[in-house]
A and B are shown apart, each in its own frame.
Chain A
Amino acid sequence: MLSHLCRLSFWLAALAAALALMAPPQLGPWLTGMACLATVFAWGLWRAGLARTRRERGQDSGAAPAGFGAPALLEIGLRAGRAIVAAASFDAALLEAGKVFKCELGLRDVRALRIAHARADSADIAEVVDGRDAFCSAARRVRLDPTSTLARAVMLGQVVVGPEGGAALPVQVDGRTVAVLELGAPVVPMAAAAFGDLLALAQAPLSRRGSHPAARVSAEPAPAQPGGGALHDNARRAPPTRMAMTFPRADDPSTPTPPCDSDAADAARTAAGRLDPAALAKLSELDPGGANQLVRRVLSAFCASAARLMPQFEAARAGPELAALRYVSHTLKSSSASIGALALAQTCSEVENLIRSADTRQLAPLLDTLSVQMADVLREIDAMLGPQA
């Protein structure tokens, strides 16, 4: 209705303007005024129509909504495919695909989840490992809401686009969903079918990467740890919410993680002590010929740093002195990540976040974990440096 009136006013303005040019001089001003009024009226109707369209699409911003044509969507799909193929591992492929979709579509949020284990006795329970921090957080048991896009994607093995615009892209290997890319709603609204088709383009290459054995070598998720785990991924959230990424809240639908058995604990320790080969390879890139023995120097520097910081850590723990604990965990967070001790870096990050959010209820077991992981990392470094020492 508004658009019809707008068009009518526009043509009326055009007609009045044309008549003003041809009419006798005494009618000219009247017709010109009428043309101006009709133009203003048409503009007002156009703005009202635009505002109504934005309201209907949930767009309150002043920017005009833009859309994606089929060629643009195809190009985005191809970019995601190229990123998946070029990635070093399956996990990296998953993260890269998520990044492409997030950047190209302007998605509000993207998270990659490895489905580490699905309970046979309960289809709505799954153990997931969040892609945040390169899948180094511990596996976490979650209860899937059967109506959510995530649960439907896990169970159906198909791309699911939710009513609010978000979507879930499952990756299947041998008929089992091994990972899910959960995508928030695009900032620019787009048709659910087009969104689904675009995501389906990435499903096959991701499945191929997931089924390739070599792609899993450095991509295994860390085993379960008590109290560990991560689910929500939103880098812009405030610290209290960041804490909830690791520790279940009362309103969290996930079930608490049970204490791990001794085998799992041993496995966790082994994983904690292992230095990430990719991180070490990155360090080596700074010293391509190895002439400067950079990796060795960095590992030695880490040992020196640990020798300085760990006594401070133990003393602060006895206090407890939270500021000192925060300083040590913050410092170790960066340096352990640099040498590829990713599990230790994750624990340090969790300790820092807990102290920052002033919630120290879960601090004690986390500090235990940090001590154990540090000992394992130092043992690993000793083993690496030993023969040449």
Chain B
Amino acid sequence: MNLSQSLPAEPGLPEQPKVLLVDDDEVNLLLTTIALRERGFAITEATSGEQALKVLAGWVPDVVVLDALMPGLDGFESCRSLRGMPGFESLPVLMLTGLDDDASITRA
């Protein structure tokens, strides 16, 4: 599965917000993970839309960050599938992408 679960929250401190980060690119995944961990988020990584949906079948994060352009199930399709899953209708989803055309932004 190539998932790397983050460290649990320290005792006595409020639970860290749980983020499912989905990006197929190693560099972007690494940098985004480091940046978010630096800010106190607990990160679970997935490298594809399919993998993210499998993770979500047994676990609910506080927010999902999706890369838009991925091979296989891309960010848009992943988001659509996620919204169709019971309990995920209103889960916050952020689209993280370098696509800067108006159509992609509107679609996201």
A residues with a Cβ closer than 8 A to B are 235, 238-239, 283, 286-287, 294, 297-298, 301-302, 304-305, 327, 330-331, 333-335, 338-339, 356
Distance (whole angstroms) from the CB of A240 to the closest CB of chain B: 10
Q: Which chain A residues lie closer than 8 Å to B10 at the CB level?
A: none
B residues with a Cβ closer than 8 A to A are 24-28, 30-31, 34-35, 38, 69, 71, 98-102
Distance (whole angstroms) from the CB of A278 to the closest CB of chain B: 16
Q: Which chain A residues lie closer than 8 Å to B69 at the CB level?
A: 327, 330-331
| Contact yes or no, A335 B27, CB < 8 A | yes
Supplied contacts A238-B101, A238-B102, A327-B69, 8 more A-B pairs, CB within 8 Å: A283-B31, A297-B30, A298-B27, A302-B27, A330-B99, A331-B24, A331-B25, A334-B28
User: Which A residue sits closest to B29, measured CB to CB?
Assistant: A301
Distance (whole angstroms) from the CB of B99 to the closest CB of chain A: 7
Q: Give 6 closest A-B pairs by Cβ, nearest first.
A: A335-B27, A301-B26, A334-B98, A305-B26, A301-B27, A331-B25
Q: Which chain A residues lie closer than 8 Å to B98 at the CB level?
A: 330, 333-334
Cα separation A327 to B98 with both chains bound (whole Å): 11
| Contact yes or no, B34 A286, CB < 8 A | yes
Q: Which chain B residues lie closer than 8 Å to A287 at the CB level?
A: 34
User: Which B residue sits closest to A326, measured CB to CB?
Assistant: B69
Q: Which chain A residues lie closer than 8 Å to B71 at the CB level?
A: 327
Cα separation A333 to B69 with both chains bound (whole Å): 12
User: Which B residue sits closest to A283, measured CB to CB?
Assistant: B31
Cα separation A305 to B25 with both chains bound (whole Å): 7
User: Which B residue sits closest to A292, measured CB to CB?
Assistant: B34
Cα separation A315 to B31 with both chains bound (whole Å): 28
| Contact yes or no, A294 B34, CB < 8 A | yes
Q: Which chain B residues lie closer than 8 Å to A294 at the CB level?
A: 34
Main secondary structure on A side of the interface with B? helix
| Contact yes or no, A356 B101, CB < 8 A | yes
User: Which A residue sits closest to B28, measured CB to CB?
Assistant: A334
Q: Which chain B residues lie closer than 8 Å to A238 at the CB level?
A: 101-102
Q: Which chain A residues lie closer than 8 Å to B100 at the CB level?
A: 235
Q: Which chain A residues lie closer than 8 Å to B26 at the CB level?
A: 301-302, 304-305, 335
Cα separation A112 to B76 with both chains bound (whole Å): 35
Q: Which chain B residues lie closer than 8 Å to A298 at the CB level?
A: 27, 30-31
Question: Can you list 11 A-B contacts (CB < 8 A)?
Answer: A235-B100, A238-B101, A286-B31, A297-B30, A298-B27, A301-B26, A305-B26, A330-B69, A330-B99, A331-B28, A331-B69
Scoring A283, A287, A304, A338 by chain B CB atoms within 10 A of each residue's CB, the highest score goes to: A338
Q: Which chain A residues lie closer than 8 Å to B31 at the CB level?
A: 283, 286, 298, 338
Distance (whole angstroms) from the CB of B41 to the closest CB of chain A: 14
Q: Which chain A residues lie closer than 8 Å to B38 at the CB level?
A: 286
Distance (whole angstroms) from the CB of B22 to the closest CB of chain A: 14
Distance (whole angstroms) from the CB of B105 to the closest CB of chain A: 11
| Contact yes or no, B102 A338, CB < 8 A | no
User: Which A residue sits closest to B101, measured CB to CB?
Assistant: A239
| Contact yes or no, B34 A305, CB < 8 A | no
Cα separation A67 to B8 with both chains bound (whole Å): 55
| Contact yes or no, A334 B27, CB < 8 A | yes
Q: Which chain B residues lie closer than 8 Å to A239 at the CB level?
A: 101
Cα separation A356 to B71 with both chains bound (whole Å): 17
Cα separation A211 to B2 with both chains bound (whole Å): 52
Q: Which chain A residues lie closer than 8 Å to B30 at the CB level?
A: 297-298, 301
User: Which A residue sits closest to B96, measured CB to CB?
Assistant: A334
Distance (whole angstroms) from the CB of A64 to the closest CB of chain B: 30
Cα separation A294 to B25 with both chains bound (whole Å): 16
Cα separation A339 to B31 with both chains bound (whole Å): 10
Cα separation A288 to B27 with both chains bound (whole Å): 19
Cα separation A235 to B25 with both chains bound (whole Å): 25
Q: Which chain B residues lie closer than 8 Å to A338 at the CB level?
A: 27-28, 31
Distance (whole angstroms) from the CB of B94 to the closest CB of chain A: 16
Out of A286, A330, A339, A356, which one reaches B27, CB within 8 Å? A339
Distance (whole angstroms) from the CB of B48 to the closest CB of chain A: 13
Cα separation A371 to B29 with both chains bound (whole Å): 24
Cα separation A239 to B99 with both chains bound (whole Å): 11
Cα separation A356 to B102 with both chains bound (whole Å): 12
Cα separation A330 to B25 with both chains bound (whole Å): 10
Cα separation A356 to B101 with both chains bound (whole Å): 9
